[in-house]
């Protein structure tokens, strides 16, 4: 897929780049650029062996056989020193013995396959059972919006396709909710970290209109690109020049009037030190401009070191360690977990997974950083995402359960809605009724 075909926050869902709703959202939709002991039968029966008592070979003696050379004129076997006939070698396996050998191998293969299936399925069933249990329990009072929510908006809001009427409708939709920040797609970044100003020609119109229609709501530039971590093509954070260019691009969008920079760089592997260095440099810039630095974050290991296992098996490291998530969270003002594209088949399992992710994130996110959990305002059926399972009601209940169990009074907490152009009325209703209240 071309560089401009980017994927939404959450590409790291297990598919190829752009396998989900495109990270660059509506821009892709509107432009056509795309928003795993052989049994051997012994010679002679017991009756035969007993018929020649004292004959070591187990063969019946026949009068004159030795002198005559045996049946059919065969040469008589040589006698041992004491006159006894020496023991004969093992009989040559006949067809029945060969069949028994193949059957033994088949049984070994079957047993090995059964053992492998058990080794894989039992842990999965156990984990899924734990998620289902995690979806049960009581919700703490007051676990609703804290007016720290956000929404990802497509590129049409800054490239001239949206009008004043569209802005009025958006304002009507958002008033009375907890949405404080708009992550407006304004890229993507070039692979060298630069950002053409021609990518966001209507940014000034949007920012001015939002300030007029929605006082107190911030407009942040959503920037990102595919990283060259799992393929040769993409942005390379390990290049110091590229990181410097990203810092320059951030200064550029802040000068254009944006009140923050929201970064979604994928697939970003757990432990990436170059990303942490970039965040330190970016935060210095945003603080100097009294602006916000926010990021879209990968999910946290549901099991210890699961990202290492998954990366080894699939060559795609979907998750971050909890420790690395905490390192990122301490370097930004806002961190939005892409808690969708989870590969869960049922609402109860998805909701339990979101509850787990909420708790894991709360445990390592500083109180001073806004933690937002992503809600799936899109509907797709593909590997990694089942629309009937990943619903807004299930996600909201999971968020409230995790919040109730871990830090029910956390002030700097909210949800992030992905994405405006794919949302349905049912999504908005569930958000308002289950979370906004």
Give 353 or 29, the one with higher predicted confidence: 353
- Helices and strands in the chain: count of H runs, count of E runs: 13, 10
Average pLDDT in the chain = 82
Phi/psi at 345 (5° precision)? -90, -15
| Structure-token pair, residue 321 | 């360690």
> Given pLDDT bands bounded at 50, 70 and 90, which one contains residue 392?
very high
Q: Does residue 44 have a pLDDT over 90?
A: no
Among 37-46, 352-361, 381-390, name the one with the lowest average pLDDT: 37-46
Render 166-209 in DSSP notation, one character per residue. HHHHHHHHHTTS-EEEEEEE--PPPTTS---GGG-TTHHHHHHH
CA-CA distance, 349 to 405, in Å (whole number)?
Answer: 17
pLDDT of residue 106: 83
Tell me the pLDDT tens digit for each residue of 270-318: 999 999 999 999 999 999 999 999 999 999 999 876 545 555 565 667 8
CA-CA distance, 339 to 12, in Å (whole number)?
Answer: 11
Give 365 or 309, the one with higher predicted confidence: 365
Cis (ω within 30 of 0) for the bond into 97?
Answer: no
Give 371 or 45, the one with higher predicted confidence: 371
Could you say which DSSP state residue 263 is in? Answer: E
| Structure-token pair, residue 16 | 């190829």
Orientation angle between helical segments 203-213 and 164-174, nearest 10 degrees: 40
pLDDT of residue 31: 39
Tell me the pLDDT tens digit for each residue of 135-149: 999 999 999 999 999
pLDDT of residue 7: 45
Q: Which residue has the tokens 């619903």?
A: 391
Mean pLDDT of 106-127: 66
Q: Does residue 344 have a pLDDT over 80?
A: yes
Q: Does residue 47 have a pLDDT over 70?
A: no
**CA angle, residues 156, 160, 163, in degrees to nearest 5:** 85
pLDDT of residue 113: 72
Tell me the pLDDT tens digit for each residue of 145-176: 999 999 999 999 999 999 999 999 999 999 99
Could you say which DSSP state residue 296 is in? Answer: E
Q: Does residue 82 have a pLDDT over 90?
A: no
* Single pTM value for the model: 0.75
> Given pLDDT bands bounded at 50, 70 and 90, which one contains residue 371?
very high
Orientation angle between helical segments 347-364 and 392-406, nearest 10 degrees: 40
Could you say which DSSP state residue 3 is in? Answer: G
CA-CA distance, 393 to 281, in Å (whole number)?
Answer: 38
| Structure-token pair, residue 71 | 């049946």
Orientation angle between helical segments 322-329 and 273-288, nearest 10 degrees: 20
Please check whether residue 433 is in contact with residue 387, taking contact to mean a CB–CB distance below 8 angstroms. no
pLDDT of residue 131: 86
pLDDT of residue 112: 75
Give 437 or 42, the one with higher predicted confidence: 437
């Amino acid at each position: 897929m071309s560089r401009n075909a980017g994927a939404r926050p959450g590409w790291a869902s297990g598919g190829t780049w752009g396998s989900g709703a495109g990270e660059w959202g509506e821009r892709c939709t509107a432009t056509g650029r795309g928003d795993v002991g052989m049994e051997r039968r012994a010679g002679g029966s017991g009756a035969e062996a007993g018929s020649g008592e004292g004959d070591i070979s187990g063969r019946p003696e026949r009068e004159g056989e030795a002198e005559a050379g045996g049946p059919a004129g065969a040469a008589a076997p040589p006698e041992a020193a004491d006159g006894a006939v020496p023991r004969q070698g093992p009989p040559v396996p006949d067809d029945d013995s060969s069949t028994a050998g193949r059957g033994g191998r088949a049984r070994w293969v079957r047993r090995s396959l059964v053992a492998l299936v058990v080794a894989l399925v039992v842990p999965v069933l156990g984990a899924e059972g734990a998620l289902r249990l995690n979806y049960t329990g009581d919700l703490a009072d007051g676990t609703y919006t804290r007016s720290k929510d956000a929404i990802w908006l497509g590129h049409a809001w800054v490239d001239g396709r949206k009008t004043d009427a569209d802005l009025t409708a958006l304002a009507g939709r958002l008033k009375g909710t907890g949405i404080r920040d708009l992550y407006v797609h304004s890229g993507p970044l070039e692979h060298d970290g630069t950002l053409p100003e021609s990518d966001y020609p209507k940014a000034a119109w949007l920012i001015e209109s939002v300030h007029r229609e929605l006082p107190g709501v911030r407009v942040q530039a959503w920037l990102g690109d595919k990283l060259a971590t799992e393929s040769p093509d993409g942005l390379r954070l390990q290049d110091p020049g590229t990181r410097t260019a990203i810092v320059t691009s951030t200064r550029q969008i802040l000068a254009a009037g944006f009140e923050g920079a929201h970064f979604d760089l994928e697939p970003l592997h757990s432990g990436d030190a170059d990303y942490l260095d970039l965040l330190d440099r970016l935060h210095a810039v945003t603080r100097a401009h009294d602006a916000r630095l926010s990021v879209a974050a990968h999910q946290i290991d549901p099991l210890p070191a699961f990202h290492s296992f998954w990366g080894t098996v699939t060559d795609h490291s979907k998750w971050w360690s909890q420790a690395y998530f905490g390192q990122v969270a301490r370097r930004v003002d806002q961190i939005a977990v892409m808690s969708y594209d989870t590969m869960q088949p049922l609402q109860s399992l998805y909701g339990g997974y979101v509850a787990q992710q909420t708790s894991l994130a709360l445990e390592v996110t500083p109180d001073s950083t806004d933690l937002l959990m992503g809600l799936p305002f899109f509907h797709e059926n593909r590997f990694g995402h089942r629309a009937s399972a990943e619903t807004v009601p299930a996600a909201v209940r999971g968020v409230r359960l995790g919040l109730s169990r871990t830090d029910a009074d956390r002030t700097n907490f909210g949800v992030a809605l992905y994405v405006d152009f794919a949302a349905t009325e049912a999504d908005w209703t569930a958000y308002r009724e289950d979370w906004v209240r």
